[in-house]
Structures are given as C-alpha cells and as structure tokens.
Amino acid sequence: MRYSQSFIPTLKETPSDAEVISHQLMLRGGYIKKAAAGIYSYLPLGFKVLKKVEAIVREEMERAGAQEILMPMVTPAELWQKSGRWDIYGKELLRLKDRHDRDFCLGPTHEEVVTELVGNYVRSYRDLPLNIFQVQTKFRDEVRPRFGLMRGREFVMKDAYSFHTTDEDAEREYQNMFETYKRIFARCGLKFRAVEADSGAIGGNFSHEFVVLAESGEDAVASCSACDYAANVEKAAAKSKRNPPSHRVAPLDIEHLSTPGRKTVEEVTAFMKVAAEQLVKTLVYLADGNPVVALVRGDHELNEVKFKNVLNCNDLELADAAAVVKVTKSAPGFAGPVGLEGVKIYADHSVEVMDNFVTGGNEKDVHLKNVNIKDFIAEGFYDLRSVIHGDECPKCNGTLEIHRGIEVGHIFKLGTKYAEAMDATFLDSDGVEKPIVMGCYGIGVGRTAAAAIEQNNDESGIIWPMPLTPYEVIITAVNPKDEEIRNASEAIYAELQEKGIEVLLDDRDERPGVKFKDADLLGIPVRLTLGARSLKEGNVELKLRRDKESSNVRLGDAAAEVERIVKEALK
Ligand code: ATP
Ligand code: MG
C-alpha cells in the first residue's frame, strides 16, 4: 500500500475521553473511529489487525477440530424465553421489535441459538461430539462502555460451543480448548496467564480465563509466588490465617461506645484508635429480594461472587438505605450482628478466629466493643472475602501476589444447563434419551488486539508484535521527489510485495520528521529508510521499532534481510 493513497487519518492530539493507552493509540493512529459510545468503525489499519487476530483464531480452532458457522445476530425472543434468560439477562440485552411487534434481541452470546440449532439436528450418540464456532459481531449494552475496543458495546467475538454424550468427553474437549487457547495467545505474541475462574454451579475446575497481564486491566489475578496456582480474584480461595490457640484472648464484656457520625471503617477505626483488623463489617444484601447479612473483617472486601455461590441465588445486590433501616432498625452505617433478628447472618472464616472485635450497634451513633462470635447466631462461616496481596496460597505455603490483567478469553464447561432448558437430547447407545453435555469457549477479538497494544507500546506509539501488525515493514522514502530515492524505494517495495511481505510505502510529500513520527505511532515493526546520503554509499537504513539503534544494509540485500526478520518473528 502507498501511504499517499491510503486512508490513515492520524490525530495530533490525544482525544480526551481515551483513558487507556491502547484506546489513545488506536484513535491517534487512525485505527478506529468512534460512532457512538462503545461502537466503532474499524478503519483500514484497525480492520487489518482484527483480521490477523481472527485468522490465528480460525486456524487454531480448525486445527483443534472445530467447524466454522455463522449464526444470526438478530435472535428471536422465544429462544431466550425457553432458556429463561429473557427475564434474567437485564439491560445488557438490547431488545427490539420487528414490524409485526415480535420481540428480538441482538445476540450478546449464542448458547440459545446454537443449542436449538444442534439440538434439532442431533438424533443419536453417533452424531456427537461436535465443536462449532463463529467469529461474529456481538452486542452487549454494557453499563460503562470504555477503553475503546476493550469494553465496547458492539464487538467482535469468537464463540465456540461443543456438544458431547458424557461429562468425560466434555472434559476432554475442555482440555483440547485449553491447549488451543494457549497456542492462540502465544501465536499472537502476548504474555498471558490461564487462570481459574468462577464456574458458578458447575463443580470442578472447568472455567478458565486467559488473562493478558497489563496494569490497565480491569481484572485482578492472584498468583502464587511459589507454585503454579493462578486464579481470578473473584474465585481465588482465601486461606484464613487461624490464630494459634495461645494467641486467643478471653472474651470481655461488650461495651457500647458513642461514635457520633462515624460510619465507615476508616472513620470508626480512626475514632476508636483500633486497627481495621479488629473491626467486623456488617453488610446488608438483598438476595433475590430478601435481606441477608454478611460479616467480613474490616480490612477485607466481601466477594460478591463467592457470597452468591454460598447463597445459591440468582440476583445479589447491596441493600438500599431503606432495606438497611428495616433490617437493623437504625440509621445505615451502624449495622452489627448482635441482636439482629429475622435475617440470616453469613460470616467469613476470618471472623471465626477474631476476639473482642468492634461492630456497629444497630443504633444511630453507637458501636460495640468486645463483641465475640458467641454474642450472635451465624448461619455459618464461609469463604466470603476476596484474597489480598500477601495472603497464603491455597495450594502451597507460598504467598499470593495480585496482578492486573485483561480477560481476553474464557472457556467454560456448561454441563446440561442449556440442553435441558432447550430440550436438546440424544439417544444414547443404551437406548436412553439424555441431555447433551456442552462447553463454551469465547475470545474477544478486538479486545485481544487492544491488549496487545497495552503490552507493547512506548512514548512514541504502538510496537506491534509481528503476528498482529497491519504492515510488517514501512519504507520511508525521505524525499520521494529525488528520482534516485523514488526509484530505489519503488524497487524494494515491488521486491517485498513479490516476497509476500506486507509493506507500506511512505511516498508522501512530507518532512522526514513527520514520516518518522507516523511510522513510530503506527507501530510497524520494521522500518527501511531511504535517504540521499546513505543511498550514495549504496546503503539503506534498517530500524526495528523495538530498538533505539538502526543499522545499514546494502540496497541489494534490504528486501531479503527484511524477509528474514519477518519470517523469524512469525516462527
Ligand atoms: P467481562 O467480565 O470482561 O465483561 P465476560 O465474562 O462478560 O467479560 P464472556 O461472556 O466470557 O465475557 O465473553 C467472552 C470474551 O468476549 C471475553 O473473554 C472478552 O474477551 C470478550 N468480551 C466480553 N465483553 C466484551 C466487551 N464488552 N467488549 C469487548 N470484548 C468483550
Ligand atoms: Mg461482561
């Protein structure tokens, strides 16, 4: 491609609404253009990158035995009503009506459509197993679309679904996809971890997220410094450090203290001059509309995913002020477990080993000192908190570190949940009709491209890993009006194209400084610079985007050298 004829609308200024570096650089480099919040056009460079990620995903999925299909994006409500998700999906599901007033929604994911599709076709165990996938535009009306392609509302996803006669076979395919995902992200040139994720009602470790490590990531990953344990913080098991019995102290009598206006952990602990570890937070939640109470230590955070799993409810939300008043019979900010009636109390394991702690007094401006677990009745003690940096590893004696990352892929064993709801059954070899066992496997295509930029950039712009770059090499003709430079550039351009190298020829009538700046911003991994001085000596300057220094190659060797570098990087 000739730069002079291309559509690469770069920007001089960083758009003010772009918070993370990948979003900034994609806008500045003319990769994408916002149409509405979370909705983007992919310009030529952005589209090329997207197609590169797609191609890697497609190749590896096919190598793993999956077959590509394309399902509709507009999906009928009946399917979602059948699975029950029409009512529980909430506002992320964009619903619409056709001219006959029939309900539809834009597919945020395709379990319903695919289960209906495959369920209709499968008759017997002989038709299974199957793994089918698509690369498609999804729509999720996210509450906070942001970070460009990282959390869009309209975005490209690869979603795959597998169908099996038995749990064991679904687990075999899960492993197959696990290995396939590792290959995909390695081939994209990314540093990533496969981490255990919450698998809700499904038993066993059959949910993994593939997380690209980056400071800007919205996910937190706990990993052990000593063993290979790695899990999403939502899921990572907390080991409560149990106080050895000799450290326990005898319970004292409860004291009522006046704590005027002190509600938060910070306010109360500062006022009472106690550590947050000595306080127990009392949180009122609504589980499917009914109040429940959770207790966690002052310096810990309640983990809503874990709490939801313990309660086995569909919907869990922090109670509003009115509900708190109803449960505690006092102003919000002073809730405590002592004397609470008509509501179940779930306590975190770490509370079980605390002595003489501070809680709210269920009375405005009152906190209690010297509370012990004998002073209230808990439903039980559970793992309810998120792990924190320095916690003990649940698998070994090492300590956990918390890193930030971007979830680019997710694999999940679904079991028979959708098959049962959608009536997708098969006749087994024993003549018994059984529900199909399923798995699902997603990759955010655009998010993967954005994650690659988060991991590979500097103050001048993007530094593409070779497998994802829109062009492998840029030829910067310093002064294309100079005939010698123009002819030499055109010759190398033709030679590289011949070799199948993706090349952008910067033939624009621009100052060299502008051209170098743009080449760095776009992030093309190899640059060949043709200037009058070096050309006089028969040389071309070769610079890798990743390196500070450049080197000279003979004009006649330049194309072959670039080819060697590109091939090496794609190995
Ligand atoms: P998140 O927790 O980030 O919202 P999710 O759990 O909703 O993700 P899945 O339903 O598992 O995501 O979707 C599969 C993949 O699709 C994710 O791993 C991610 O890479 C991608 N993805 C999900 N939501 C978005 C989005 N709003 N924008 C871009 N990619 C997305
Ligand atoms: Mg989501």
Which region holds residue 127: left if phi is over 0, alpha if psi is between -120 and 50, else beta?
A: alpha
3-state SS string for 185-203: HHHCCCCEEEEECCCCCCC
Cα–Cα separations (whole angstroms), residue 27 to 31, 144, 153? 6, 19, 17
Residue with tokens 């793994």: 131
Half-sphere exposure at residue 260, Cβ-oriented, CA atoms within 13 angstroms: 0
3-state SS string for 42-64: ECHHHHHHHHHHHHHHHHHHHHC
**Residue 149 alpha carbon, nearest atom of ligand 1:** 29
Instruction: Kindly give the distance from the C-alpha atom of residue 37 to the centroid of ligand 2, in angstroms, as a whole number.
Output: 16
Q: Sign of dihedral through CA atoms 11, 13, 15, 21?
A: positive
Cα–Cα separations (whole angstroms), residue 221 to 180, 234, 386? 21, 9, 11
Question: Quick one: average pLDDT of 376-399?
Answer: 93
Collapse the DSSP code of 16 into the 3-class scheme (helix H, G, I; strand E, B; otherwise coil) and give the result. coil
Burial of 258 (0-12, 13-18, 19+ CB in 10 A): exposed
**Residue 442 alpha carbon, nearest atom of ligand 1:** 14
Tokens of residue 366, six digits = 């009152």
Separation CA 398–CA 236 (nearest Å) = 14
Whether 493 contacts 485, CB under 8 Å: no
Residues of the chain with pLDDT > 70, as a percent, come to 98
With a 6 Å cutoff on the Cβ, whether 212 touches ligand 1 is no
pLDDT (tens digit per residue) in 492-507: 999 999 999 999 999 9
For strand 473-477 and strand 503-506, is the pairing parallel, antiparallel, or unpaired?
parallel
Question: What number of residues does the chain have?
Answer: 571
pLDDT (tens digit per residue) in 80-129: 999 999 998 889 999 999 999 999 999 999 999 999 999 999 999 999 99
Instruction: Kindly give the distance from the C-alpha atom of residue 196 to the centroid of ligand 1, in angstroms, as a whole number.
Output: 16
With a 6 Å cutoff on the Cβ, whether 235 touches ligand 1 is no
Q: Which ligand is nearest to the CA of 155?
A: 1
Separation CA 469–CA 290 (nearest Å) = 52
Which residue puts its alpha carbon closest to atom 2 of ligand 1?
Answer: 407
Count H helices, E strands: the chain?
16, 31
Quick one: DSSP state of residue 150?
G
Instruction: Kindly give the distance from the C-alpha atom of residue 410 to the centroid of ligand 1, in angstroms, as a whole number.
Output: 8
Separation CA 349–CA 239 (nearest Å) = 8
Collapse the DSSP code of 166 into the 3-class scheme (helix H, G, I; strand E, B; otherwise coil) and give the result. coil
Q: Which ligand is nearest to the CA of 151?
A: 1
pLDDT at 241: 59
CA angle 493, 498, 499 (to 5 degrees): 100
Separation CA 354–CA 381 (nearest Å) = 12
pLDDT (tens digit per residue) in 257-316: 999 999 999 999 999 999 999 999 999 999 999 999 999 999 999 999 999 999 999 889
With a 6 Å cutoff on the Cβ, whether 210 touches ligand 1 is no
Tell me the Cα Rg of the chain.
Answer: 29
pLDDT of 142 over the 80 cut: yes
pLDDT (tens digit per residue) in 419-431: 999 999 999 999 9
Collapse the DSSP code of 522 into the 3-class scheme (helix H, G, I; strand E, B; otherwise coil) and give the result. helix
pLDDT band at 239 (very low <50, low <70, confident <90, very high): confident
Which residue puts its alpha carbon closest to atom 21 of ligand 1?
Answer: 444
Question: Quick one: average pLDDT of 154-163?
Answer: 98
Which residue puts its alpha carbon closest to atom 26 of ligand 1?
Answer: 151
Pocket test for ligand 1, best of 407, 408, 414 (most atoms within 8 A of CB): 407
Long-range contacts of 511-516 (CB under 8 A, 24+ apart): 512/476, 512/478, 512/479, 515/476, 515/478, 516/476
With a 6 Å cutoff on the Cβ, whether 109 touches ligand 1 is yes
Separation CA 381–CA 280 (nearest Å) = 14
96 bridge partner residues: 104
Which residue puts its alpha carbon closest to atom 27 of ligand 1?
Answer: 151
Question: Quick one: average pLDDT of 321-334?
Answer: 94
pLDDT at 87: 92
pLDDT (tens digit per residue) in 427-444: 999 999 999 999 999 999
- Position 562, amino acid: V
With a 6 Å cutoff on the Cβ, whether 444 touches ligand 1 is yes
Separation CA 57–CA 71 (nearest Å) = 18
Please enumerate in sequence order all residues whose Cβ is within 8 A of that of 223, keeping only pairs 6 or more positions apart, or say none.
193, 195, 229, 230, 231, 400, 401, 403
With a 6 Å cutoff on the Cβ, whether 108 touches ligand 1 is no
Roughly how many angstroms between the first and final C-alpha of the chain, as a whole number? 24
pLDDT band at 234 (very low <50, low <70, confident <90, very high): confident
Instruction: Kindly give the distance from the C-alpha atom of residue 176 to the centroid of ligand 2, in angstroms, as a whole number.
Output: 24
Cα–Cα separations (whole angstroms), residue 415 to 145, 178, 319? 31, 17, 33
Instruction: Kindly give the distance from the C-alpha atom of residue 148 to the centroid of ligand 1, in angstroms, as a whole number.
Output: 13
pLDDT at 244: 60
Separation CA 343–CA 345 (nearest Å) = 6
Q: Which ligand is nearest to the CA of 451?
A: 1
With a 6 Å cutoff on the Cβ, whether 409 touches ligand 1 is yes
Which residue puts its alpha carbon closest to atom 1 of ligand 1?
Answer: 407
Q: 129: cis peptide before it, omega within 30°?
A: yes
Instruction: Kindly give the distance from the C-alpha atom of residue 476 to the centroid of ligand 2, in angstroms, as a whole number.
Output: 42
pLDDT of 242 over the 60 cut: no
Q: Which ligand is nearest to the CA of 108?
A: 1
pLDDT at 201: 64
With a 6 Å cutoff on the Cβ, whether 142 touches ligand 1 is yes
Separation CA 543–CA 474 (nearest Å) = 10
Q: Which ligand is nearest to the CA of 50?
A: 1
Whether 191 contacts 210, CB under 8 Å: no
Which residue puts its alpha carbon closest to atom 29 of ligand 1?
Answer: 151
Burial of 230 (0-12, 13-18, 19+ CB in 10 A): buried
Separation CA 418–CA 84 (nearest Å) = 10
Separation CA 82–CA 116 (nearest Å) = 10
With a 6 Å cutoff on the Cβ, whether 171 touches ligand 1 is no
pLDDT (tens digit per residue) in 120-131: 999 999 999 999
Q: String of b and e for 20-46 (b: at least 16 CB within 10 Å)?
A: bbbbbbbbbbbbbebeeebebebbebb
